[in-house]
Every structure is written in C-alpha cells, then in structure tokens.
Amino acid sequence: MMETVAVPEVQNVCADQEFNEYMEQEGSKMIWSLIHRYGKGVEKNDAFQEMSIALWRALGSYSPGRGVKKSTYVYQAIYNQLKMMLREQGAAKRAFEKQAKSAEEQYNLRARDENMEDRILEDLILRSRSNALHWAIRNGGLTEDEQKTVYMLLQDMLQKEIGEELGCTQSHVSILKKRALKKIGKALQDAQWDGSGIWDPESM
C-alpha cells in the first residue's frame, strides 16, 4: 500500500496522477533507499514527506531536453533534499552542542569559584581555631609547665616523652594536660567564641 504524502495543492491533474504513479512504481522505494543509506539521525517520516515533495517538484520541472534520464533527475532532486535536511540538522546539532558546552563551562566556572570560596573559608576557620587556641594558651592563666605540655602535645609528642622533657612522671603530665585544657576551654568560653567563626583577637 502506497504511503499518503502531503503535497502542495496542484491545478494540473495529470501532474498529480504522474506523481502518484511514479511513487507506486519506484519513487517510494527510491526515497526509502536513500533514507536508509544516508539519512542517519534524521526523523525518517519527516524525511520521507520532504523528499516526496521534492520528487513531485522534480517531476513537474523535468524535461527530456535536459539531457538526463527522468529517474536520474528525480534521484538527484530527492538526494539534494536529504542532504539539505542533514545540513540543517547538523547546524542545529552544532548550535545545541555549542550552547551546551558554554553552559557547562559556565557551570564548571561557577562550581570552581564556589569551591575556591569554600576552601578559603575553611582555611580561615582553621587559622582562626589555631589563633584562638594560641591566644587561650597565652591568656588563659596556664602555668609555664601547662603551656609547655600543650605545645608539646600539639607536636604529637607522647606523654612519656613530655614527662622526660619536663622531668616529671607520665601521670603528672596527664594532670597538667587536664588542667591546661580546662583553662583553655574557660578562656574561649569567656571570650564567647563559637568555635567556627573568624577569630579576631583585636576584639578581646
């Protein structure tokens, strides 16, 4: 059964009849052959409609005086129509890919900037915590041995090693540590530092 094709309204009934007969004989087969061979990516039904219209026009404009066979002339017309569709689709695809790439680059740029801002903020907070700790050690009323104990703990020294440095037992180092941490915590609490904000010793 021949597929129904939407063609422009025609005045010439003979031309319309010629078109229908040509489609039944070889036109449909010719169109589908080109679509299957070269029409990768095009919407096949749309391509069939557009190429059928190109075939109708080619039949209307064909003249034996052109020096080519009718089938060759028609074939070239519908092939050109398919190529035009492929070019238009390719241009649309490239435009879409360009827009998508631009959007992706902008997204990655924003993400990179946001990540950089996050890293800067994290660095500031870590630095603030370090500044707050050292401020509390200096201003929290710690004894000299308590301050030394905390600084050596910050250097990942073991309590046994700290005891050897201070000339005391490991158990006494543990007592010094507890006293020091309690004083540091109270100093930071009195300073009303929340532990995550930016530390400003100038305001103390």
124-150: pLDDT as tens digits: 566 767 777 778 888 889 898 888 888
Residue 3 has pLDDT above 60, yes or no: no
Residue 121 has pLDDT above 60, yes or no: no
pLDDT score of 106: 61
Q: Determine the average pLDDT of the residues in 156-166.
A: 87
Residue among 65, 82, 68 at smallest CA distance from 30: 82
Cβ-proximal residues to 145 (8 Å cutoff; 6+ apart), any chain: 166, 168, 176
Amino acid at 200: D
The reported pTM is 0.39
The structure tokens 């990516």 sit at 41
Residue among 179, 159, 178 at smallest CA distance from 170: 159
pLDDT score of 57: 87
The CA distance from 175 to 98, in Å, is 67
pLDDT score of 6: 47
End-to-end CA distance of the chain: 92
- The alpha carbon of residue 109 and the mean position of all alpha carbons in its chain are separated, in whole angstroms, by 10
48-58 pLDDT, tens per residue? 888 888 889 88
pLDDT score of 1: 43
Percent of the chain past pLDDT 90, that is, above it, reads: 3
pLDDT score of 199: 53
DSSP secondary structure string for all residues of 46-110: HHHHHHHHHHHHHHHH--GGGSS-HHHHHHHHHHHHHHHHHHHHHHHHHHHHHHHHHHHHHHHHH
73-107 pLDDT, tens per residue? 888 888 888 888 888 777 656 655 666 566 566 65
- Which comes out higher in pLDDT, residue 45 or 195? 45
- Which comes out higher in pLDDT, residue 101 or 61? 61
Residue 170 has pLDDT above 70, yes or no: yes
pLDDT score of 10: 40
DSSP character at residue 155: T
The CA distance from 147 to 181, in Å, is 10
pLDDT score of 123: 63
Q: Determine the average pLDDT of the residues in 56-70.
A: 82
